[in-house]
């Protein structure tokens, strides 16, 4: 018979082997659980991205539908004006149709930008950007699309001298979308104000209008399209571009009072 020492050694070895097997099984189970959790996160991320893409496509479809209905109405009025020999009406609605065509081209650019943002993380080409030049150009471009309508523009002195470290093309897109939406929210002859003011940890650029009729629902949703009822594709992308700069886009609106959109840039992007 084996001695007690041999039995004890055998039992100890068995215990060590069983402990090792148990540890290996525990690690395998934990690894499998982690893998399942990882797959779950990837699946959830994919579902979230798909839902965001569908939400933004619906926004684009609604913008397209509204623009096409307006174009159809303008075409009918142009046709009536031609039949009844009313050149002023023809000129008026022709200018409106041209402005709507410009909006459709902008929508195509927005969709293209959104496709780029899905393909890869957005890379910024930082440079010193003078806001006086950028804002003045954006105001002139938006005003040119208004046809017979008009807006009054007020640009504050502080924003004219502001210089930021930013991606020029991205910032130009953001400013253009803010001004286009300010025009949509306001009426002929209304004022649109563009100014800047110091903010904690950086600087705020603000666009205000007198309309207050643009947004409905939850305008403070995130940049991926969750909670963006009423924002439209352009402002949704503008918010994503601001977040890429480490900043924020905030919207406040009240019926019959106006809409205020604030762009916040952190102090590391403020050059002067």
Q: Is the pLDDT of residue 97 over 70?
A: yes
| 217 pLDDT more than 60 | no
Given a contact cutoff of 8 angstroms between Cβ atoms, the answer to whether 160 and 224 are in contact is no
Delimit the domains of the chain by residue range: 126-269
- Helices 87-119, 168-185: inter-axial angle, 10-degree rounding: 140
Mean predicted confidence (pLDDT) in 129-149: 85
Which one has a higher pLDDT value, 98 or 159?
Answer: 159
Q: Would you state the pLDDT for residue 130?
A: 92
The CATH code belonging to domain 126-269 is 3.30.565.10
What is d(CA 176, CA 224) in angstroms, rounded to the nearest whole number?
A: 20
Mean pLDDT of all residues in 85-110: 76
DSSP-assigned letters across all residues of 190-226: -EEEEEEEEETTEEEEEEEES---S--S-TT--TTST
Residue 232 pLDDT class (50, 70, 90 cuts)? low
The neighbour count for residue 173, using CB atoms within 10 Å, is: 20
3-state secondary structure of 151: coil
1 pLDDT band, cuts 50/70/90, is very low
pLDDT bracket for residue 230 (50, 70, 90): very low
Q: Is the pTM of this model over 0.75?
A: no
Q: How confident is the model at residue 227 (pLDDT cuts 50, 70, 90)?
A: very low
Q: Is the pLDDT of residue 107 over 60?
A: yes
pLDDT of 12 = 47
Q: How much is the CA Rg of the chain, to the nearest whole Å?
A: 29
Residue with tokens 């286009």: 180
pLDDT of 248 higher than 80: yes
6 phi and psi angles, rounded to 5 deg: -65, -45
Better-predicted residue by pLDDT, 50 or 6: 50
Q: Say if residue 7's pLDDT is above 70.
A: no
pLDDT given for residue 175 in this prediction: 92
Q: Is pLDDT larger for residue 160 or for residue 117? A: 160
Length of the chain counted residue by residue: 272
């Amino acid at each position: 018979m084996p001695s007690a020492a041999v039995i004890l050694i055998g039992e100890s070895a068995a215990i060590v082997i069983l402990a090792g097997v148990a540890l290996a099984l525990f690690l395998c189970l934990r690894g499998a659980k982690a893998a399942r959790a990882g797959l779950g996160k990837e699946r959830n991320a994919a579902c979230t991205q798909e839902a965001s893409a569908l939400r933004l496509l619906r926004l684009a479809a609604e913008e397209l539908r509204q623009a096409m209905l307006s174009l159809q109405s303008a075409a009918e009025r142009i046709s009536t004006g031609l039949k009844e020999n009313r050149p002023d009406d023809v000129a008026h609605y022709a200018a409106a149709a041209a402005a709507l065509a410009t909006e459709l081209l902008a929508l195509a650019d927005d969709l293209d930008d959104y496709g780029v943002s899905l393909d890869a993380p957005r890379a910024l080409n930082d440079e010193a950007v003078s806001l006086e030049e950028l804002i003045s150009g954006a105001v002139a471009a938006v005003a040119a699309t208004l046809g017979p309508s008009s807006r009054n523009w007020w640009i504050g002195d502080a924003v004219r001298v502001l210089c930021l470290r930013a991606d020029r093309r991205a910032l130009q897109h953001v400013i253009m979308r803010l001004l286009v939406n300010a025009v949509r929210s306001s009426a002929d002859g209304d004022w649109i104000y563009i100014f800047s003011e110091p903010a904690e940890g950086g600087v705020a650029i603000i666009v205000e209008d007198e309309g207050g009729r643009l947004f409905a629902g939850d305008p403070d949703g995130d940049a991926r399209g969750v909670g963006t009822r009423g924002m439209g594709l352009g402002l949704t992308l503008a918010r994503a571009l601001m977040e890429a700069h480490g900043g924020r886009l905030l919207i406040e609106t009240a019926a019959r009072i106006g809409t205020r959109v604030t762009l916040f840039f952190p102090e590391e992007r403020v050059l002067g």
